Amino acid sequence: MSKTLMIVDDSATMRKIIMRTIRMSGLEFDRTEEAGNGLEALEKLKADPIDIVLCDINMPEMSGSDMVKEARQLDTCKDTKIIMVSTESSQDLISSVMADGANGYITKPFTPEKFQEQLSPFMS
Ligand SMILES: [Mg+2]
């Protein structure tokens, strides 16, 4: 089953690290997009449906938490799985972003196993 991925993080270095970790996890995508903040990500999501989004929380322009809320209003995002990837680990924040429509939460620092575990249910 071919899947598409978008990595949303304001750090280009972090986007590269996430991409490399995804490769190490053995998960395969046939198209990968990147965005530097929530607004940029929403523009891409409006243009083209994406299966899985890995999304940072703390970003300029639009945070990951706000992006999740906005994305859930879009027809093109009904089936998109959004997994947050953040250094923030407060249970309140995690609960609120999950209630807003995120499908998973990975805390930094992460491992290939963590990606494998969180994303594989969405790969079939
Ligand atoms: Mg950030």
Q: What's the confidence (pLDDT) of residue 1?
A: 66
**Mind listing the pLDDT tens digit for each residue in 66-124?**
999 999 999 999 999 999 999 999 999 999 999 999 999 999 999 999 999 999 999 98
58 CA to middle of ligand 1, Å?
Answer: 4
**Mind listing the pLDDT tens digit for each residue in 7-44?**
999 999 999 999 999 999 999 999 999 999 999 999 99
93 CA to middle of ligand 1, Å?
Answer: 15
62 CA to middle of ligand 1, Å?
Answer: 11
11 CA to middle of ligand 1, Å?
Answer: 6
**DSSP letters along 55-101, please?**
E-SS-SSS-HHHHHHHHTT-GGGTT-EEEEEES---HHHHHHHHHTT
Please name the amino acid found at residue 32.
T
What is the distance between the alpha carbons of residues 44 and 35, in angstroms, rounded to a whole number? 8
SS3 7: strand
Q: What's the confidence (pLDDT) of residue 2?
A: 86
| Domains along the chain with CATH numbers | 4-122 (3.40.50.2300)
1 CA to middle of ligand 1, Å?
Answer: 31
Q: What's the confidence (pLDDT) of residue 124?
A: 83
Of 45, 48, 67, whose CA–CA distance to 56 is shortest? 67
